[in-house]
Amino acid sequence: MATQYPATRPANPRFSSGPCAKPPAFDLAKLADAPLGRSHRAAVGKAKLKAAIDGTREILGIPDDYRIGMVPASDTGAVEMAMWTMLGARKVEMLAWESFGAGWVTDAVKQLKLDAVVKEAPYGEIVDLSTVDTDNDVVFTWNGTTSGARVPNGDWIKSDRAGLTICDATSAAFAQHLPWDKLDVTTFSWQKVLGGEAAHGMIVLSPRAVERLESYTPPWPLPKIFRLTKGGKLIEGIFVGETINTPSMLAIEDYLLALDWARSVGGLAGLCERANQNLAAVQSFVAENDWIAFLVNDPEYRSNTSVCLKFTDDRITDGAAFAKAVVKRLDAEGVAYDIGAYRDAPPGLRIWCGGTVEATDVAALMPWIKWAFEAEIEALSQAA
């Protein structure tokens, strides 16, 4: 009988994969210094925006000659901006192994109408990176938020490549070490690994990407919100905090607080270690229970942020209904919110394990997953 509750509950049941858990040090009162009701173009606003850009460079170790810009529409806006302004200059390869990568394929092929080489892999796998020619432009997702599959390293990207690499790193930045010398355009949003507020994106440009922007004019019209150049030159103001449209100064203050917290836990190394510890807690649980498994079989490609699991018990006849019932039980008990698999992904669980989540909370959640599983198996038995 699955009636005995586990002894410990997660102190914070927020395991959503976006927006993600706020940093443990978060307190609304700490945002009191936000210059609300002030122009973002005033000196105080510009100083905050520049601090956000400088802090991003510091924590992520972005090279000094790379530009960092704050753009609208979260990571999606940043990826679209890169694709619409830079693709079309040379042959392009589109890599996809989950829903967001598939979305970039749709935009390249159906919206921009590029004759792209499309390489796809099913959920839980990634494409054979040895087949990718980086003398072409390449668009890919570093960490598949909806599949839990990530690129293990940048060794497959040539140092002397002729093409640009355009990398959606939104659930990898601040949790995984990114090889900046192999990435020409990198995008992410604050609402993922640092638990920031949504709607703002970041775009990081290598000197090679800047050269493409200043030497290439795409054949399609560009809306103002995508324009990074004027008169054939980069709009430098975007990369010192003069944003394309009005940012939320409250969200900026929240991001600055998250950056301060990141420093307090050891910067990027500390953030990566926290995510790795969270993943390790899940790995131990999966190893001890034969009715659950990672969606990604190969540990080399397994994400340490968006951790995706599947139920493997033969008694389960409707995987989607069973997973939803487990998620509903955990939510009702207040021990885990928003951990259902993404709507386009195979049925199962998706547990956010980025650094803003405490390892003690991940460990405390695991027995509750077993409790919910056993309760649903018992319900199936009674229904039969």
Closest CA to 198 of 240, 237, 254, 154: 254
Whether residues 213 and 282 fall in one domain: no
Q: Which of 217, 237, 263 is the last residue of a domain?
A: 263
Using the predicted structure, report yes or no on whether residue 3 has a pLDDT greater than 80: no
Residue 58 lies in a domain: yes
Q: Indicate yes or no: pTM above 0.95.
A: yes
- pLDDT band per the 50, 70, 90 thresholds, residue 82: very high
Residue 189 lies in a domain: yes
Whether residues 189 and 337 fall in one domain: no
Closest CA to 164 of 88, 230, 76: 88
Mean pLDDT of the 358-368 span: 98
Q: What is the DSSP letter of 166?
A: E
Residue 22 lies in a domain: no
What is the domain-level CATH number for residue 173? Answer: 3.40.640.10
User: What's the mean per-residue pLDDT of the chain?
Assistant: 97
Number of domains making up the chain? 2
Using the predicted structure, report yes or no on whether residue 338 has a pLDDT greater than 60: yes
Whether residues 244 and 279 fall in one domain: no
Using the predicted structure, report yes or no on whether residue 230 has a pLDDT greater than 50: yes
Whether residues 111 and 238 fall in one domain: yes
Residue 9 lies in a domain: no
Residue 16 lies in a domain: no
Whether residues 289 and 226 fall in one domain: no
Q: What is the pLDDT of residues 216-225, one digit of tens each?
A: 999 999 999 9
Whether residues 104 and 231 fall in one domain: yes
Mean pLDDT of the 326-341 span: 98
Whether residues 273 and 257 fall in one domain: no
Contact 201, 187 (CB under 8 A): yes
Spell 204-223 as b/e; 16+ CB within 10 A means b: bbbeebbebbeeeeeeeeee
Whether residues 106 and 226 fall in one domain: yes
What is the model's pLDDT at position 384? 78
pLDDT-above-70 percentage for the chain? 99
Report phi then psi at 112, rounded to 5. Answer: -80, -15
Q: What is the pLDDT of residues 86-140, one digit of tens each?
A: 999 999 999 999 999 999 999 999 999 999 999 999 999 999 999 999 999 999 9
Beta bridge partners of 234: 229
What is the domain-level CATH number for residue 369? Answer: 3.90.1150.10
Residue 187 lies in a domain: yes
- pLDDT band per the 50, 70, 90 thresholds, residue 1: very low
Whether residues 256 and 276 fall in one domain: no
Q: Which of 263, 282, 307 is the last residue of a domain?
A: 263
Residue 365 lies in a domain: yes
| Three-state SS at 47 | helix
Q: What is the pLDDT of residues 22-74, one digit of tens each?
A: 999 999 999 999 999 999 999 999 999 999 999 999 999 999 999 999 999 99
Whether residues 115 and 220 fall in one domain: yes
Domain containing 61: what range?
A: 28-263
Residue 303 lies in a domain: yes
Contact 60, 194 (CB under 8 A): no
Whether residues 126 and 154 fall in one domain: yes
Whether residues 43 and 110 fall in one domain: yes
Q: Can you tell me the distance from the alpha carbon of 354 to that of 172, in angstroms, rounded to the nearest whole number?
A: 9
Q: Which of 234, 263, 292 is the last residue of a domain?
A: 263
Q: What is the pLDDT of residues 165-209, one digit of tens each?
A: 999 999 999 999 999 999 999 999 999 999 999 999 999 999 999
Q: Can you tell me the distance from the alpha carbon of 39 to that of 228, in angstroms, rounded to the nearest whole number?
A: 22
What is the model's pLDDT at position 6? 97
